[in-house]
Amino acid sequence: MMENNRKRILMFGWEFPPVISGGLGVATLGLCKAMAPLADVLMIIPKNVPNFNIPNIELVGLNRLTAQELGLLFNQNIAFKMKGNAATEAPLKSYTQVQSDEFVDQKFYDVYHSEVKPFEIDILYGGNVISKVIEFARISVQYCLSKQFDVIHAHDWMTFLPAMELKRKTGKPMVLHIHSTEYDRAGANSRNWVYDLEKKAMELADRIIPVSRYTGNVCAQHYGINPAKIMPVHNGIDWVHPYKKEKPTHDKYVIFFGRVTMQKGPEYFVEAAKKVLDVLPNVRFVLAGSGDLLRPMIERTAAYHLGDRFFFTDFLDKSKLNQLLAIADVYCMPSVSEPFGLSAVEAVQYDIPTIISKTSGVAEVLTGSLIVDYYDVDKFAEYIIAALQGDGLRASVVNANKHSLQSITWENCAKKVMEVYEGINSKF
């Protein structure tokens, strides 16, 4: 039974371990576990997670709802309306195929008025992601209207639609947790469906929790959001048992892991590697991850005749990633725009010196790292060489970052999120 003084949080997530693509799922679970002693959480996600059992956390995968249960939820199709809030009355630009008080575009209207059927989702990001996001919103809103909650908390754009609609229907405060933005993924000139959704949701939100001050500045500068309601909270990290493993060769190993996309800057890693190998030929570079730039990176290393020095592993699960960390000598994160960067913290747990870009949130907490402009491949290469050759530099970076780890916890993150909830009724 819920205690009367405990807040009841309705939370929406998209990724949730073991169904993950990147850091979003890991962060959502980490926060959930740390919130359990502080509040009661109803977490709505697309796919059910078998055998999940954490006290005070109720996890609901929409794909487990049967046709009969959906029939009881939907007496009639209810369209998303955008009325009733002065900050969001104007329709999103460039979408004019439906009446002005409907949300977004024709695709939204068609999905929202289609036949109600059980929510089926194989992979979270394959196929028509926008239709999946709309259908997720359609079903979760109806499911949650019968639930009791004090605060609505949504993780990233995929879950903003149900949060917005439930705020309008219930009047409950809405908190947006910003792990990544369309600006990060697609660049400053991106103005599309997702960007417009993010902007409108941020305008409607009572509070915004970006995962770093860097991302908070993105919300203010590139989305025009009032800085007074932006309250950054850094991610935490789960404690691990780091270990060392015998290397397959006597070479040094420099690693990159993450999505192989424009946002993560893999081309700068390759360019820096080429310069390092001109000086230190006995170094091997590992690029672990998948994404649309994976093949171009393989082709670039082949063109540079670096095939015997480069290894591409594709996506690694946690166990295999730990094995890679256990042999690594240097970790690189040349992200063009990185809201936080949990991978850098994971590397620090294994006593690996980290070289990270200035345009990253994790640079705010891993202050001992070597920090560069992502595009400065000369400096990047210089730092890799220095970290490989200089024992003193390596030790100073590792020791400074190990000290920083003490404050990078999910418990600290959860306490700060609770403080954001408590402050919602206060004026900016």
pTM: 0.85
Distance CA 34, CA 41 (A): 11
pLDDT of residue 83: 33
Helix locations, 211-263, DSSP H:
213-223
The residue type found at 11 is M
Can you read off the two tokens belonging to residue 27? 């962060």
Q: How far is C-alpha 10 from the geometric centre of its chain's CA atoms?
A: 19
Parts of the chain with a pLDDT under 50: 1-3, 76-103
Comparing CA positions, the residue from 144, 200, 206 lying closest to residue 422 is 206
Contact 315, 290 (CB under 8 A): yes
Distance CA 176, CA 257 (A): 27
Classify residue 37 as exposed, middle or buried by CB count within 10 Å of its CB (0-12, 13-18, 19+): exposed
Distance CA 155, CA 249 (A): 42
Read off φ and ψ for residue 23, nearest 5 degrees: -75, -20
The residue type found at 153 is H
Can you read off the two tokens belonging to residue 299? 């082709």
pLDDT of residue 409: 95
Q: How far is C-alpha 213 from the geometric centre of its chain's CA atoms?
A: 15
**H or E segment at 183?**
helix 182-186
**H or E segment at 288?**
strand 283-288
Tens-place pLDDT, residues 238-267: 888 999 999 999 999 999 999 899 999 999
Can you read off the two tokens belonging to residue 112? 């929202």
Distance CA 318, CA 390 (A): 30
Beta strands in 6-47 (DSSP E): 7-12, 39-45
pLDDT of residue 239: 87
pLDDT of residue 21: 60
Can you read off the two tokens belonging to residue 423? 């402050």
Cα 156–160–161 angle (5° rounding)? 150
Q: For 292-321, b where at least 16 C-beta lie within 10 A, e where not — what string?
A: ebbeebbebbeeeeeeebbebeebbeeeeb
pLDDT of residue 5: 78
pLDDT of residue 89: 30
pLDDT of residue 323: 95
Angle at which helices 391-405 and 342-349 pack, to 10 degrees?
A: 110
Can you read off the two tokens belonging to residue 149? 């909650």
All structural domains of the chain, each given as residue ranges with its CATH number in brackets, are 7-236+410-422 (3.40.50.2000), 252-405 (3.40.50.2000)
Q: 105 in helix, strand or coil? A: coil
Distance CA 13, CA 109 (A): 23
Q: How far is CA 62 from CA 12, 101, 137, 149, 226, in A?
A: 11, 27, 10, 18, 34
Edge-to-edge order in the sheet of strand 283-288: 310-312, 283-288, 252-257, 330-333, 354-357, 370-372
